[in-house]
Structure 1
C-alpha cells in the first residue's frame, strides 16, 4: 500500500484486525469462500448488528469489507454470480500468518499454564470438620446485626463480652487462648441477678459455621428460655436430643452426665 498515508494504513489494519476478531469469536459467521486471483474473498453474516451480511476481500492485514447485503440469501446469490467456479462452502483455509499466530499463542498459553501454581480443588467436608475461621470477625458481624446485644471490653482488651438487653444472656469471647481451651462461654440466667441456669463453652478450634449457627439460634430468643419448669427427665432429654438421634448420633448416660 505505497500510495496510502500512515494514518490510512493504520485504519485499514485496524479494520482487518476487527474483522479477524469477529470471525474468531463467532460474531461473524462465514458461509463460503473463493480464490480471486492472488487473494481470498469470503461472504458471511454478523450474528448481531442487525444480521448484516458482508462480502470480504483480501487476507490478513488487508482484509476489508467490500460490500454489504441485507440478508444471507442476497449475499450468497451475489457471491455465487461472481465466484461460482471457485466457490467453496465454509471459512477459507488459514493463511500462513494466521497459522504462525496460533502457534505462537499456543506456546505462550502452555508457558503461562506451567508458570502458574496449580490450585487444589475445593473439598467438601462435614461442618464439624470445617476450618475454624475468624472468630473475632464472626462476633463483630453478629453484634453489628443484632442491636439487642451490647458489646463490652475488659480493661486488658483480652476479652469481649456481648450482653443481651435483658441481662439474662451473656457471651464471653476470650481472644487469645490455647487451641483446646474455652474461647467462648455462653451463660443464661433466669433473672439478671440469679445464678446461671446453664452454661456452654466452645474452644478456639470450633468451626466457624457451628458458631455462626449457635449465635443465630441465640439471637432468635427461643434458644435460651430460662423460665423455671419441671425437673429435667429422660423424656425431656430424648426430645431435646431428637435432632442428633435423627442424624445418627448415639448417647450414653454416665451417672449425672449424658454423652
Structure 2
C-alpha cells in the first residue's frame, strides 16, 4: 500500500497531507513528507475535523507550521463543508497558477475521501483513466479541481504505523484488534491528559480511571459478557475507538512552540 502512495507522489506536483486537527503531530507521516521533499514535491498540510478544535488552536498550528517548518497549511471540516474554497485557493497559490496534479495522502480515518468529494462538487469533471507505471494494475481517475489543477480520484492511504497509541490515532481498524481494551485505555489516557471533560460530555458518566469509564459505558449500554455477566469492556473499548475516529470526541493538543519556555 505504501508503495502505491509513493508512485502517486512521484506523478504529482503537490502533496496534500490530511491530518486530524486534534492530533496534528501524531497524524503526520514524516516518512511520506521526506519522500515528497526528496522528489522535489511541494507539501500542503490540511488540519481536517477543524470543527472539533477551537479556532485559536487551529491558528496556532497554522502559525507553527509556517514559522517553524515553512510549510503551508489550511484548516477545514470536510464533513461540514467548511474551508473547501480556502483549500482550493491555497492549492492554486502554491502552484502559482501553473498546471498541476495533486495527490491527497494521509492515514485512514483522516477524512481524505470526504475532502475529495467536497472538492469534486459541481466544480469538478472526471477525465480519462491514467494507469500507473508497469507493475501497477489498477487505473486511477483524475478529476478537475480548477481550470489548471487536477487530483487523483483515490486517497493515498498510509498504513497506520508507530507505537500502540499512534496506530490507534492513525486509524487502525478496530475490528482487527485482538485485544481492543489495551489500546482503548491508552487512548483514554491520552484524551484525559488534555480534556477529561470531553469524555464525560460524550458518555454522560463520571469516572476516576480509564478502566472504570469502560465499565460504566458497558453497564449504561447493557453490554455484559454472557459467561460471567461482567460488563463487556471489549465492546466499550471498540465503541470509544470508533467514536474517536468518527469525530465524536472533541479535544485539542497544542503545537510544541506553545509549550516552550521562551
Tell me the TM-score normalised to structure 2 length. Answer: 0.18
**Relative to total residues, which structure has the larger helix share, 1 or 2?**
2
**Relative to total residues, which structure has the larger strand share, 1 or 2?**
1
Tell me the TM-score normalised to structure 1 length. Answer: 0.18
